Amino acid sequence: MPEKKKILIIGVNGFIGSYLTEKLLSFNEYEIYGLDRDSYRIAHLTDDSNFIFLQDDIIRSWDWIENKIKKCDIIIPLAAIAMPKYYIENPIKVFEIDFEYNLEIIKMVVKYGKYLIFPSTSEVYGKSNTDYFHEDTTDFVVGPIINTRWIYSTIKQLLDRVIYSYSLHGGLKFCCFRPFNWIGPKLDSIEYAKTGCSRVTNSFLMNLLLKKPIKIVGDGRQGRCFTDIKDGVDCLIQIIMNTEMCNQQFFNIGNPDNYLTVYELAIKCIELFKKHPEIPKDLKQAAKFEFVSSDEYYGKGYEDIFYRKPSIDKVKAILMWSPVIGIDKSLNNSIDYLFSEWNKMNDQKI
Ligand code: UGA
């Protein structure tokens, strides 16, 4: 039996980390070392003998991290705050976790000569106004400092630049991927969604379950390409299986066919919610939307991104990957999941 490839995933309980770990374990060809302070998304995986999990904060785990970087072949640091509400409410925390912690990890990967797979973001393109965003030619356009929304975009941009420079001058081998609005069950925990901090699909669907109107920020004409988490993770698996081919590449991982404005998304969520066979009638009758200003929803310091569409030509050419899951399917999966969580929540109250 060939030796199993060893992969370290930091932030293994996150949305991407949990799906990726589950998929990797299903091959029985990888040994996964995972770190996270929470375990609610991966609790069902912890009995797998190929999964070695430490539940703790990064700040208390530097020795463990260094030790595992030495041991593993591929390092995937996924721990980050990626919710726009926090870019406004606590930009320093975003800086500490997303930038400082990750820079430390990247330096260790360079030191021990390991392969880095790093999450960049669709947000690096900012307000760029080309029809499709291309990894190697599109300019990054961001707003003024007083709009702290841009802290996340610029942190990720600088890390992309640092990683690339280490590959040129420090021998680092890497692949950076840019998720474009990956969605699906377990995106943000139900508690986040209840407090209004969640990303848009969860926020809309959770409001419908709580009999609150969907809140459309601004005029709703801003658009996103929504990508099913399973499509995204399939692409990550291709990267893991083809690290040499992906070396020094930045890849957009998104679904340009799933472009919707936020207004269209609200209408679609209501439509699918009303069609769902199990949702109670009174919730269906209450389903509606309203418009709110960004100041009201996020607070001062927010600025929206009006248009975002990836070119996926590069990832198609190198990895032969294309997304296959349509938006209705992704949203229906999310409705099923949130509805079952909502039922559990109500059962506990009784
Ligand atoms: C996201 C986050 O920054 C990251 O999760 C990520 O790196 C990246 O973009 C991505 O997933 O590609 P954004 O696309 O603005 O940013 O994420 P959402 O919070 O889901 O917002 C999407 C749009 O919906 C925004 O225009 C926002 O104003 C709007 N929105 C959000 C509403 O109209 N109502 C809501 O309740 C929530």
Q: What is the mean pLDDT of residues 163-173?
A: 97
CA distance 76 to 139: 26
Ligand 1 in reach of 330 Cβ (< 6 A) = no
CA of 234 relative to ligand 1 center, distance in Å: 23
Task: Answer yes or no: is the C-beta of 109 below 6 A from any ligand 1 atom.
Answer: no
Is the CB of 177 inside a 6 Å radius of any atom of ligand 1?
A: no
Task: Give the ligand 1 atom nearest the CA of 224.
Answer: 14
Mutate to test the pocket of ligand 1, among 86, 87, 200, 290 (most ligand atoms within 8 A of CB): 200
Distance 31 CA to ligand 1 centre (A): 34
Query: Could you count the other beta carbons within 10 Å of the beta carbon of residue 177?
Result: 23
Confidence of residue 342 (pLDDT cuts 50, 70, 90): confident
**Which atom from ligand 1 is nearest to the alpha carbon of 180?**
12
- Report pLDDT digits (tens) over 79-104: 999 999 999 999 999 999 999 999 99
For residue 77, the model assigns a pLDDT of 98
Strands 289-292, 214-217: pairing is parallel
**CB contact set of 309 (below 8 Å; sequence gap of 6+):** 131, 132, 133, 180, 223, 225, 254, 256, 259
- Virtual CA dihedral for 288, 289, 290, 296, nearest 10 degrees? 120
For residue 194, pLDDT beyond 80 = no
Task: Give the span between the Cα atoms of 49 and 69, in whole angstroms.
Answer: 19
Check pocket membership of 156 for ligand 1, CB cut-off 6 A: no
Close Cβ partners of 37 (under 8 Å, ≥ 6 residues apart): 13, 55, 56, 57, 58
pLDDT digits (tens, 9 = 90+) for 241-274: 999 999 999 999 999 999 999 999 999 999 999 9
Question: What per-residue string of b and e applies to 73-88 under the rule 16 or more CB within 10 Å gives b?
Answer: bbbbbbbbbbbbbbbb
Q: How remote is the CA of residue 200 from the centroid of ligand 1, in Å?
A: 5
Asked whether the beta carbons of 190 and 342 are under 8 A apart, the reply is yes
What pairing do the DSSP bridges indicate for beta strands 223-225 and 259-261? Answer: antiparallel
Name the residue with the closest Cα to ligand 1, atom 25. Answer: 304
Is the pLDDT at 346 greater than 90? The verdict is no
Average pLDDT over residues 30-35: 98
Residue 58 CA to residue 64 CA, distance in Å, equals: 9
* Residue 265 Cβ < 6 Å to ligand 1: no
Which residue has the CA at smallest separation from atom 23 of ligand 1? 200
Q: Is 121 in the pocket of ligand 1 (CB under 6 A)?
A: yes
Q: Is 146 left (phi over 0), alpha (psi -120 to 50) or beta?
A: alpha
Residues assigned a catalytic role:
123, 308
Report d(CA 225, CA 259) in Å as an integer.
4
| Ligand 1 lined by 261 (C-beta under 6 Å) | no
What pLDDT does 345 receive? 82
282 vs 1: CA distance, rounded Å: 58
CA angle 102/126/58 to nearest 5° reads 15
Q: How far apart are CA 332 and CA 43, in angstroms?
A: 24
Would the pLDDT of 111 be above 70?
A: yes
- The reported pLDDT for the residue numbered 196 is 73
Question: What is the reported pLDDT for 350?
Answer: 56
Distance CA 183, CA 215 (A): 18
